[in-house]
Structure 1
Amino acid sequence: MKKLIIIFSVLTLPTILSSCKKYLDIVPDNVATIDYAFRLRSTAERYLFTCYNYMPALGNFDGNPGNASGDEYWLPVTNGSNAWQIARGFQNIVNSYMNYWQGNTGGKDLFEGIRQCNIFLDNVGKVPDMTDRERARWTAEARFLKAYYHYWLFQMYGPIPLIKTNIPVGASKEEVYPPRDPVDACVNYIAEQLDLAAQDLPEKIESEVSELGRVTKPIALTVKAQLLVLAASPLFNGNPDHSGFKDPNGTLLFANTYDQEKWVKAANACKEALTLCESLGFKLYTFNPQFFQYKVSDTIKTQLNIRNAVTEKWNPEVIWGNTNSLAQSIQANAIPRGLDPSKTANSSTVGNIAPPLKIAEMFYSSHGVPITEDKTYDYNGRFKLRSGTLAYKLYLQEGYQTVALHFDREPRFYADLGFDGGIWYGQGYFNDKGTLFFVSSKKGQPASAQNQSSYSVTGYWPKKLVNFNNVIGDGTTYTIQSYPWPVLRLANLYLLYAEAMNEANGPSTEVYKYLNLIRERAGIPSVEDAWTNYSRNPNKFTTKDGLRDIIQRERLIEMAFEGQRYWDLRRWKKSTEELNKPITGWDLAQEDAPAYYREKVIYNQTFTTRDYLWPIPESELLSNKKINQNPGW
């Protein structure tokens, strides 16, 4: 924490939000002072935008720790972000990957971001030319960002030092190096700051052209709901792995006992957030083909309900879209090359982020239950070969030989995944012959490995992230319709509420209601109907433990490829189970279907108990003797 004694210099401010496209240029005669930054409303506003700039770039594949740190994607060996080194088991204490504590190797310095927020909060009262209402709003925005950065650090490192105020110049050595605060103190402080921020944040953005992306009251309440669900989850609520863990001064950092009341608080926070969101018109997205130039079948409409909930900018489901992190390059990473074989393979598409085979198996059957539970689904025969028929023409290329695993699956399977023989709706809609595009990825086919980096190592692509309005043009052109990354959407909140309610009170009509709203939009039967009629365990949804399993699977499917799986597996303490399974895919070196459709181990992933909390960088421990390393590191 030695950097806490550094006094902020306007000359070293990072760039502000990309939407503002300006720098904080307020220094006369090469003299930089904090006072000058707050002499005018315009310069103070730029300072506020600088506070936003520390937000993790979640729409950038390499900038989102939730993308590549776990098992949801795998990459060619010639690629590899800092986060992917974590997935491969290379995290360390000397040069930590995705270091958000100090700000290097892929991470941003969130403690510096907190410092900037504190500077703004200390000085915004000096700005003369602004209204009291505007001052209150800007104060609330900075307070929210300060809380959000604490939240991000907390979910990665566990107990952290709470930087409530900046350390003055003349501070003693004792003040310069703060200790970590216990888990419950961290949660209570962050929740308190979010509540305070919510009081003065607008319920919705009025000036959409200039202000979309700035925080609102629904955002603050939803982040609070996320925080309290995290705090109530097994990772932080009575976790025996960390019982007795103390700082060097003997302060207990984790509570030793499980607290059921934390789930009650989480459920109440989720309910407060979703009630406000619904009152303001937020709703689950559904595609409206009224003004669409092509006739859209119910099958395609359902797929667009699912894909566009993420990719259609500012749709009514998006609670928080991050304008500082547009989903641009991630789409090029997600689309296979050669969808239209009549055109040159697109040089701007690399198609190298690959969901493993276990992610493809995670999705439900067409009956809305896991394929391992569906009594009508031949799970043992899932690798047998079948050919696409007319009945599957909007899912699979007719007459094309693929694997049985790709048949009789729920709509989210087809909306979220691209795979060999699968229809890829969009990207120009139809080719010149009037037929839908489809993926062909065996050796020598358009989507196969053409070089060492631009291909899927598993044979799958995250189609969900690709805007269906993107256009494959002539030659090598590929026009991407970018969208602000949906940090929070209503489906996420519904699932958090269902989870918290089940943990607090067990199965209820309220829990089923919000699960079934998600499932109805996804085109599958209700929880009650699906398990009663098709599951080998028809009463599973009637017990708390059984419903917990259903909710967790529903969440993993609905939030797939949005950077949530990694964090959810951690907080449920399921990473030691899931992230120790091998990463597998199809045998890409084969030209014919019988040889291609053989499961091939790509990497044997490992995850130990210590990996549930990220290591604190060693250099930080050498400076601050009040902080000790997380367990196992």
Structure 2
Amino acid sequence: MMKKYITKGLLVILVLATLSSCKKYLDVVPDNVATIENAFTMRSQAQKFLFTCYSYMPKEGDLTDDPGILSGDEIWDVPTKGAYFFIARGFQKTISPYGDRWTNLYRALRDCNIFLENVGKVPDLNEEERARWIAEVKFLKAYYHFYLVRMYGPIPLIKTNLSIDAEANVTRVTRDPVDSCFSYIKQLLDEASPSLPPIVLNPTTEAGRITQPIALALKAKVLVTAASPLFNGNTDQSTLKNPDGTQLFNPTYSKAKWDTAAVACKKAIELCHSVGMKLYVYNPDFQQFNLTSTIKTQMNIRNSFAEKWNSEIIWANTQTLVANATLQVLAATWWDPLLLDNSAIRGEFSPPLKIVEQFYTKNGVPITEDKTWDYNGRYGLRTAVESEKLYIKKDFETAKLNFDREPRFYADLGFDGGIWYGQGKYDDSQDLFYLQAKFKQRNGVGKPNYGTVTGYYVKKYVHFQNVMVAASYSTNPFPWPVIRLSDLYLLYSEALNESLAAPDAEVYKYINLIRARAGLNSVESSWTNFSSNPSKYTNKDGMREIIHQERKIEFVFESQRLWDLRRWKEAAKELNQPITTWDLGQETSAGYYRPVILFNQTFGSKDYFWPISEANITANRNIVQNLGW
């Protein structure tokens, strides 16, 4: 007799969509299967259960499902976008916490265990495919555990399911120490990797399925997270203990964790290279116009994120195509002055000034360090000249803050006077669309639900081939990138820098590859020639700061900043700064370009981890609440 298990929602019907042009390989789920026995009587039914295990994957890039977009400080928004924006404004709570994942992901883990415990009984499943399916579900178990650990810290590990007749004291589980959590996640990924394919051979039917590069890339990210200050020697969490006194955070720092992470990152990079992955460079099969190097560089940057399945995408979430289309509509604005009445697009996503200021100057160093850049006069006014016309409309008066910035600034941001390439205008030798964002102008505020709330727009989300017409807006949705090769490069630079006494050529190599793609000189050259702190890159502390800022810039708006600030333990510094904007109610440049505080954001030590719902605490008193909640 097969055991019965404690689990809810075993046969939840959820659909994972792939590319609109592809067969929807994940849209099949158990058809009202009454028992677990029936779910594993044949290959077709077991495959449906496999896809149910996939169906719990958090939807990165979905405003309602991805805490990384609106829970921090990277994008400020209007209060109608759901739970995560309440977290950004300090409204988190223990009764029905915003963005709570606990129940759903534990349901996912129990379904994964049921699959692993029963897939061996499927009679018409060949052993090679069985091994692959087992590896995929072990990966999913690792990912779901990792997602919970990033949110809640130490969690109860669900290695196997409890039988329904288990003793009460057995079912009242406790949280496992965080080092044990990371060890188990690593173990699952190590077990999964050998049986996963190096690439998906048939993207039409299998796009989004787990591959070996995905598993090794996630392992690298897991181990870097485990080595980071939030989890490695975090004395702030030393009093978090189980009822029996078990300490859940080891307060002693371990350099060995960084050593292990660096090895994992390098191995993942080598595997990705071996299957042909490389940093994306814009090189379309059909080039209608001979673009300038300025616009080609911007296309390298924009399309590394927005070009579906490009050469550096290791893992992309295929569930979020519909959400991605919505995201682009909310990020886009009115480019065409002939179509001012188009209400299909909103232009609501708004980067605060501190995000704008984190981008480098054109010399590849922070605006606070560039000896040639007028930091103190950054809010003054300047008029664009002919040589700047591919960045800012010629003869347009705008803030000095918008001048002489790195290419990623112009590729990722829209702003008053800024050029917005594409959207139907692809010849950069002709006049291109530009924004007018002062009060009641076509891209400014002054109309209901119209215009940014900070004066800046998220250009990065908007595919350059989207087109606005008189009554509608056509988008080119793309799977949301979860891990790009550039992510691995910077994780490796970070881990290697922490594991060495001082940075070496290998640390610089991978960050410089990303900088070169972004149109910047090397770290060594940029700091030596332009920084007020020219030796900064030669020591571990200085290089750490450089790597952190490089990650903030390269992955801006990609759901990375929230998790990075937490694992670095820098959220208390960054998320206690006010959200500032331009003075949007002004019609003149002199009035408009004045910083105004929109919101005073606060972040306390308790906010590094989500609260566990009071309902879960009440149901099991062995689960201790996170500190401060």
TM > 0.5 = yes
Q: State whether structure 2 residue 299 is matched by structure 1 residue 308.
A: no
Q: State whether structure 2 residue 14 is matched by structure 1 residue 14.
A: yes
Three-state SS of the structure 1 residue aligned to 2:337 is coil
- Show CA shifts across 1:205-256 (max 9, x none): 0011100111101101111111111110110111110113211111110002
- Show CA shifts across 1:465-491 (max 9, x none): 211111112x12110000001101000
Three-state SS of the structure 2 residue aligned to 1:598 is coil
Residues 385 and 398 (structure 1 numbering): CA distance in 2 closer, same or farther, change over 3 Å? same
Q: State whether structure 2 residue 56 is matched by structure 1 residue 61.
A: no
In structure 2, runs of 5+ residues without a counterpart are 19-23
Residue of 43, 47, 50 corresponding to 2:49: 47
Paired residue for 1:115? 110
Give me the whole-angstrom Cα distance separating, in 1, the residues matched to 2:292 and 2:309. 24
Spell out the pairing of 1:212-291 with structure 2 (5 A cutoff): 212-289=207-284, 291=286
Q: Which amino acid aligns with 1:75?
A: D
Could you tell me how far 1:10 is from its partner in structure 2? Answer: 5.6
Could you tell me how far 1:323 is from its partner in structure 2? Answer: 0.9
- Show CA shifts across 1:504-558 (max 9, x none): 0030000000010010000011000000000000000001101111111111101
Paired residue for 2:538? 542
Q: Which amino acid aligns with 2:330?
A: N
Residues 22 and 242 (structure 1 numbering): CA distance in 2 closer, same or farther, change over 3 Å? closer
Could you tell me how far 1:5 is from its partner in structure 2? Answer: 6.2
Q: Which amino acid aligns with 1:190?
A: I
Residue of 25, 29, 52 corresponding to 1:24: 29
Q: Are the aligned partners of 1:5 and 1:176 in contact in 2 as well (CA < 8 Å)?
A: no
Give me the whole-angstrom Cα distance separating, in 2, the residues matched to 1:622 and 1:55. 27
Residue of 293, 299, 317 corresponding to 1:298: 293
In structure 1, runs of 5+ residues without a counterpart are 103-108
Q: State whether structure 2 residue 167 is matched by structure 1 residue 172.
A: yes
Paired residue for 2:130? 135
Paired residue for 1:86? 87
Residue of 288, 305, 326 corresponding to 1:329: 326
Q: Are the aligned partners of 2:13 and 2:30 in contact in 1 as well (CA < 8 Å)?
A: no
Q: Which amino acid aligns with 1:545?
A: D
Give me the whole-angstrom Cα distance separating, in 2, the residues matched to 1:433 and 1:368. 26
Stretch moving more, 460-469 or 14-23: 14-23
Q: Which amino acid aligns with 2:109?
A: I
Paired residue for 1:106? none
Spell out the pairing of 1:527-538 with structure 2 (5 A cutoff): 527-538=523-534
Q: Are the aligned partners of 1:325 and 1:485 in contact in 2 as well (CA < 8 Å)?
A: yes
Spell out the pairing of 1:223-622 with structure 2 (5 A cutoff): 223-289=218-284, 291-326=286-321, 327-336=324-333, 338-429=334-425, 434-449=430-445, 451-473=447-469, 475-505=470-500, 506-622=502-618
Could you tell me how far 1:350 is from its partner in structure 2? Answer: 1.6
Could you tell me how far 1:26 is from its partner in structure 2? Answer: 3.0
TM-score (norm 1): 0.95
Q: Are the aligned partners of 1:383 and 1:597 in contact in 2 as well (CA < 8 Å)?
A: yes
Could you tell me how far 1:450 is from its partner in structure 2? Answer: 5.1
Q: Which amino acid aligns with 1:151?
A: F
Give me the whole-angstrom Cα distance separating, in 1, the residues matched to 2:388 and 2:330. 27
Residues 529 and 379 (structure 1 numbering): CA distance in 2 closer, same or farther, change over 3 Å? same
Stretch moving more, 589-598 or 321-330: 321-330
Could you tell me how far 1:401 is from its partner in structure 2? Answer: 1.0
- Show CA shifts across 1:537-588 (max 9, x none): 0000001101111111111101111000011011111111000000011111
Q: Are the aligned partners of 1:26 and 1:36 in contact in 2 as well (CA < 8 Å)?
A: no
Three-state SS of the structure 2 residue aligned to 1:548 is helix
Three-state SS of the structure 1 residue aligned to 2:338 is coil
Q: Which amino acid aligns with 1:175?
A: V
Q: Which amino acid aligns with 1:44?
A: A
Residues 629 and 284 (structure 1 numbering): CA distance in 2 closer, same or farther, change over 3 Å? same
TM-score (norm 2): 0.96
Q: Which amino acid aligns with 1:608?
A: G
Three-state SS of the structure 1 residue aligned to 2:434 is coil
Stretch moving more, 289-298 or 259-268: 289-298
Give me the whole-angstrom Cα distance separating, in 2, the residues matched to 1:100 and 1:421. 42
Give me the whole-angstrom Cα distance separating, in 1, the residues matched to 2:287 and 2:610. 47
Q: Are the aligned partners of 1:56 and 1:64 in contact in 2 as well (CA < 8 Å)?
A: yes
Q: Are the aligned partners of 1:431 and 1:437 in contact in 2 as well (CA < 8 Å)?
A: no
Give me the whole-angstrom Cα distance separating, in 2, the residues matched to 1:171 and 1:371. 61
Residues 449 and 34 (structure 1 numbering): CA distance in 2 closer, same or farther, change over 3 Å? same
Aligned residue pairs: how many?
618
Q: Are the aligned partners of 2:16 and 2:26 in contact in 1 as well (CA < 8 Å)?
A: yes
